[in-house]
Amino acid sequence: MNRREFIKKSIQAAAAAGAYTMLPASKLFGAAAEGKTPPHLVAVKNSTPAKMYAAALAAMGGISQFVRRGQTVVVKPNIGWDVTPELGGNTNPQLVEAVVKSCVDAGAKKVYVFDHTCDNWKKTYKTSGIEDAAKKAGALVVSAASESDYVNVKVPGGKTLKETKVHKLAVESDVFINVPVLKNHGSSGLTIAMKNLMGIVWNRWSWHATGLHQCIADFAAYRKPDLNIVDCYRVMKANGPRGVSKEDVVLMKTLIMSKDMVAADAASAKIAGADPEGIEYIKIADAKGIGTMNLDSINIRRITL
Amino acid sequence: MKPARIIISLIYGALFAVFFSGAVHEYNALLQFVPKSQFMPALLKSIGGITIASFAAVFITVLAALFFGRVYCSYVCPLGIFQDFFIFLRYKFNPKNKFKYSKGYFGFHLVILAAAVLTYAAGVVSVMAVLEPYSAASRSAASFLSRSAVSAGVFWYSVFFVLFMAAAAFFKGRLFCNTLCPAGAVLALIAKKSVYKIKIDGDKCTHCNRCEAACKAVCIDHKNLKVDFERCVGCFNCISACKDDAIGYEKVSVKKKDNTKRKTIKKLAVFTAAAAGLTLFTKEIFAFKSAIPVKKSVPVLPPGAGSVHHYNSHCTACHACVTACPQKVIGANMAEFGVLKLMQPVMNYSVSYCLYGCNECTKVCPTGALEPVSIKEKKSVQLGRVHLIKENCISWSDGKPCTVCTEHCPTKAVYTVLHNNVAAPEIIPDICIGCGACEYVCPAVPHKAIFVDGLKKQVKAGDPVKAHRPGEWKLTPVKNEKKSSGGDFPF
């Protein structure tokens, strides 16, 4: 119902503006209305996760660019491992809290937070601090540990991955916000935005057996997140994705925001000190046209707080 | 007395069910009390090394028995409550078929006790595991109530055991307690000399037979005004059944008491010392012969087990650890250690893996088979060691970059190298803690490419922070670094 209303309103607004095409809502309001194009990518440095998020969001034109009153939102952090926030194995809970809060403030009907965890989900949700933080901000923290919550989807243009099982909330929600953490990864090199989407997939282990990089890039074409917010506050530089000790983690106090997953991954890779060219799935996704890894070609807004 | 007993035992039974349902992830003190308050596990634990909990459980049970007889059997024992339910059904559905006094088989009961003690001392726990009431009850409860990794063998055994116990209770009352139960035998020896006993007053007794009919332990002989108190399970149904106030709980005469009590304590001390001595002595001898299985591999034991030898000689297969495990990785087969080690839980890495920051199983073991291990200690306890079969590995043999095993390894004992430019796993067994995550997640079929083999003795793993990982895959460093924002961003 709400979606229908939203579409109706969008059409009305579009008609009123004299453009009888289905323009994305974001181009009708906010920054665009002021005659300023929002940047393709925002990079923020030197503050707390929440403050850097607020600054990046402001540069993008505010939360209303992404979330509207009455919509359902999925906020998908990385909650892979049963480790504390200091180890950088999961998305920073303060960032998750800030993202959820902004969605709630924007009038979202429901904000869901979940991840298909690697370790025991109950323990991982708790130890990561994300469950408490997200609940505090008003999110519904739900399990993704049961196969019955997943539905079969087709992957458009998939070379290796043609179909897979995706969590139904990620399929059904109006808005999908991807909140990965940047870290070292023993299989894929780095895990950032595209890799984080494995957490909405059920049978993701088969990706390992059939070709991990190709599957990650293939799946990126399934549904591009409405917004990607990469947590580069504490960056695990070695022994990822789980991490062994605090010695693997470097405090980088950085945040990357973009609607383009490939650009977000390329910029984040450089933050981690790695050449994006060396990460196969970024190259494949770029070639597939999911986004661009050429950071020189895009409008980047750099903010140092 | 009866309502109090029923209320206490029902509360206890409810806690017991909650514990063994596995529904609670982290046990609080109240729930941990359930297995740790049990007599036989606490006694076995005390032999290995007394803890406050085990000492308190043994002390209170023995003291209660010294004064009031086998009240433990009616108030605390989970199998007691279970039997009472079927005895209650008998009274309900078959009220005419009353219990009758029978002589009892105290000699046979002592033989059973001796067999349990001797086999236990020899490092074989299976007699104890099958007969010890707490372990038998809890294992059955775990099989039915919790979603734990219990094999079909253990499940069907539990079905058989529960049906057998139900039938035995329905037809024969507390026969199990008085002929087979090793805990019952120990308590019977103490109860024989207890301070207070059930007595029939011959002057008041009208030989109405109500007490005898009410006695589920069939230990009251109303004709001869005799009560075999060593078989009495302290339910006091006889007292409420008597309409003539002729049966009561009385202090045994002072003179006699002094004498016998001293004798009892002496006997108990000798018995305990002998059992302890025998345990120590035979353990040393049997360690040579029976603790080393003639197999290529050793089962991986839960943390805190210390060694196969220690574990085998303490674990009564009560499955408290099985239900406590949030990962459901601890499971039991019928006879993984051989028939002499029936149903002992081991780590089952085809089902799950041991969570790095978890020590729940080590908190609940009532017999000391699993010693307490802090989370910090547990992170360096080596339960087993990793083995890699490169021929089975998709990365090494098939050229596909899988390495899902390296992701899950908490110490990076399994790490990534490049083989023909493809990410592939490599191992350092020294820093492996044997959690089995690599084995669990390995997608190779039908045989795993990476697995954990158990150790006869759990040791301390090497320091993963200081470890050198030869040939480890490193990312290509960033080139053409552009400092376009005062050096703050590399792009």
**What are the DSSP calls for A179-247, one per residue?**
E-EEEEETTTEEE-HHHHGGGGBSSTHHHHHH-HHHHHHHHTTT---SEEEEEEEEEE-SSTTT-SSGG
Amino acid at B72: Y
Find all residues with CB under 8 Å of B152, minimum gap 6, and list them.
Answer: none
Which one-letter DSSP state was computed for residue B472?
Answer: B
pLDDT of A21 higher than 60: no
Query: In which band, very low, low, confident or very high, does the pLDDT at A18 lie, cut at 50, 70 and 90?
Result: very low
Compute the distance between CA of residue A8 and CA of residue B45 in angstroms, rounded to an integer: 72
Q: Using alpha carbons only, how large is chain A's radius of gyration in Å?
A: 18
B residues 348-387 lying closer than 8 A (beta carbon) to A: 355-358
pLDDT of B340 higher than 80: no
Q: Which of B414, B402, B388 is CA-nearest to residue B467?
A: B414
Compute the distance between CA of residue B125 and CA of residue B368 in angstroms, rounded to an integer: 13
Compute the distance between CA of residue B370 and CA of residue B360 in angstroms, rounded to an integer: 11
| pLDDT given at position B288 | 25
Torsion of CA B132, B138, B142, B144, to 10 degrees: 90
Q: Cβ of B476 and A209 within 8 Å?
A: no
Angle at the Cα of B428 from the Cα atoms of B426 and B432, rounded to 5 degrees = 115
| pLDDT given at position A138 | 97
Compute the distance between CA of residue A250 and CA of residue A271 in angstroms, rounded to an integer: 11
Compute the distance between CA of residue B299 and CA of residue B302 in angstroms, rounded to an integer: 10
Compute the distance between CA of residue B383 and CA of residue B144 in angstroms, rounded to an integer: 28
Per-residue pLDDT, averaged over A43-55, amounts to: 97
Q: Which of B469, B338, B49 is CA-nearest to residue A239?
A: B469
Hey, which residues does B454 pair with through a beta bridge? Answer: B384
Compute the distance between CA of residue B329 and CA of residue B176 in angstroms, rounded to an integer: 33
Kindly report the number of other CB atoms within 10 A of residue B366's CB atom. 28
Compute the distance between CA of residue B93 and CA of residue B85 in angstroms, rounded to an integer: 12
Q: B447: burial class by Cβ within 10 Å (0-12, 13-18, 19+)?
A: exposed
Compute the distance between CA of residue A111 and CA of residue A72 in angstroms, rounded to an integer: 6
pLDDT of A277 higher than 90: yes
Measured between beta carbons, the chain A residues lying within 8 angstroms of B25 are: 122-123
The DSSP result for A58-117, as a single string, is HHHT-GGGT--TT-EEEEEE---SS--GGGTSS--HHHHHHHHHHHHHTT-SEEEE----
Q: Establish, for the pair of chains A and B, how many residue pairs have beta carbons separated by less than 8 Å.
A: 123
Token readout for B78 is: 């989970």
pLDDT of A167 higher than 60: yes
Q: Percentage of chain B with pLDDT > 90?
A: 28
Cis check: omega of the bond before B182, within 30 degrees of 0: no
pLDDT of B277 higher than 70: no
- Looking at the complex, report in whole angstroms how far the Cα of residue B354 sits from the nearest Cα belonging to chain A: 10
User: CB–CB of B32/B364 below 8 Å?
Assistant: yes
**Lowest-confidence pick of B252-261, B306-315, B353-362:** B252-261
Measured between beta carbons, the chain A residues lying within 8 angstroms of B401 are: 187, 208, 211-213
| pLDDT given at position B247 | 86
Q: A10: burial class by Cβ within 10 Å (0-12, 13-18, 19+)?
A: middle
Q: Cβ of B478 and A275 within 8 Å?
A: yes
User: pLDDT tens across A190-228, in order?
Assistant: 999 999 999 999 988 888 878 899 999 999 999 899 999
Give the containing element (helix H, strand E) for A152: strand A150-154
pLDDT of B357 higher than 80: yes
Q: What's the sign of the alpha-carbon dihedral B56, B59, B61, B64?
A: negative
For chain B, say whether A122 makes contact (Cβ under 8 Å): yes
Q: How far is CA B372 from CA A285, B15, B50, B377, B437, in A?
A: 50, 22, 13, 10, 22
Find all residues with CB under 8 Å of A116, minimum gap 6, and list them.
Answer: A144, A145, A167, A198, A199, A200, A201, A202, A204
Give the containing element (helix H, strand E) for B170: helix B152-172
Measured between beta carbons, the chain A residues lying within 8 angstroms of B441 are: 205
Residue owning tokens 């494949």: A284
Q: How far is CA B177 from CA B60, B166, B257, B339, in A?
A: 20, 13, 26, 24
Per the prediction, chain A carries an average pLDDT of: 90
Token readout for B374 is: 């802090």
- Looking at the complex, report in whole angstroms how far the Cα of residue B489 sits from the nearest Cα belonging to chain A: 7
Q: Cβ of A295 and B491 within 8 Å?
A: yes
Angle at the Cα of A218 from the Cα atoms of A212 and A220, rounded to 5 degrees = 105
User: CB–CB of B364/B53 below 8 Å?
Assistant: no
How many CA atoms within 13 Å lie on the side-chain side of A103? 34
Query: In which band, very low, low, confident or very high, does the pLDDT at B192 lie, cut at 50, 70 and 90?
Result: confident
Compute the distance between CA of residue B57 and CA of residue B33 in angstroms, rounded to an integer: 10
Per the prediction, chain B carries an average pLDDT of: 83
Comparing CB atoms, the residue among B357, B403, B465 nearest residue A187 is B403
Compute the distance between CA of residue A253 and CA of residue A305 in angstroms, rounded to an integer: 10
- Looking at the complex, report in whole angstroms how far the Cα of residue A215 sits from the nearest Cα belonging to chain B: 12
pLDDT of A267 higher than 90: yes
Kindly report the number of other CB atoms within 10 A of residue A162's CB atom. 11
Q: Which of B490, B415, B407, B418 is CA-nearest to residue A276?
A: B490
Measured between beta carbons, the chain A residues lying within 8 angstroms of B477 are: 273-275
3-state secondary structure of B186: helix
Q: Mutating which of B352, B474, B478, B481 best tests the A interface, going by the most A Cβ atoms within 10 A? A: B478
User: CB–CB of B380/B461 below 8 Å?
Assistant: yes
Q: Which of A175, A185, A74 is CA-nearest to residue A134?
A: A74
Query: In which band, very low, low, confident or very high, does the pLDDT at B149 lie, cut at 50, 70 and 90?
Result: low
Highest-pLDDT range among B178-182, B192-196, B200-204, B388-392: B178-182
Compute the distance between CA of residue A226 and CA of residue B312 in angstroms, rounded to an integer: 57
Highest-pLDDT range among A112-116, A236-240, B145-149: A112-116
Comparing CB atoms, the residue among B477, B489, B491 nearest residue A274 is B477
- Looking at the complex, report in whole angstroms how far the Cα of residue A295 sits from the nearest Cα belonging to chain B: 7
Q: How far is CA B33 from CA A247, B39, B167, in A?
A: 40, 12, 29
- Looking at the complex, report in whole angstroms how far the Cα of residue A25 sits from the nearest Cα belonging to chain B: 30
Comparing CB atoms, the residue among B326, B355, B407 nearest residue A186 is B407
For chain A, say whether B421 makes contact (Cβ under 8 Å): no
pLDDT of A122 higher than 70: yes
The DSSP result for B244-281, as a single string, is SS-EEEEEPPHHHHHHHHHHHHHHHHHHHHHHHHHHHH
Find all residues with CB under 8 Å of A143, minimum gap 6, and list them.
Answer: A114, A121, A149
pLDDT of A294 higher than 80: yes
**Lowest-confidence pick of A155-169, A210-224, B445-459:** B445-459
For chain B, say whether A209 makes contact (Cβ under 8 Å): yes
B residues 13-42 lying closer than 8 A (beta carbon) to A: 25
Compute the distance between CA of residue A303 and CA of residue A299 in angstroms, rounded to an integer: 13
Residue owning tokens 């020590």: B359
| pLDDT given at position B416 | 94
Q: Percentage of chain B with pLDDT > 70?
A: 87
Residue of chain A with shortest Cα separation from B402: A208
Measured between beta carbons, the chain A residues lying within 8 angstroms of B408 are: 118, 242
Angle at the Cα of A143 from the Cα atoms of A137 and A149, rounded to 5 degrees = 125
| pLDDT given at position A3 | 57
Token readout for B170 is: 């329905």
For chain B, say whether A304 makes contact (Cβ under 8 Å): yes
Query: In which band, very low, low, confident or very high, does the pLDDT at A20 lie, cut at 50, 70 and 90?
Result: very low
Q: Which of B69, B2, B1, B64 is CA-nearest to residue B232?
A: B69
Measured between beta carbons, the chain B residues lying within 8 angstroms of A119 are: 355-356
User: CB–CB of B428/B406 below 8 Å?
Assistant: no
Query: In which band, very low, low, confident or very high, does the pLDDT at B415 lie, cut at 50, 70 and 90?
Result: very high
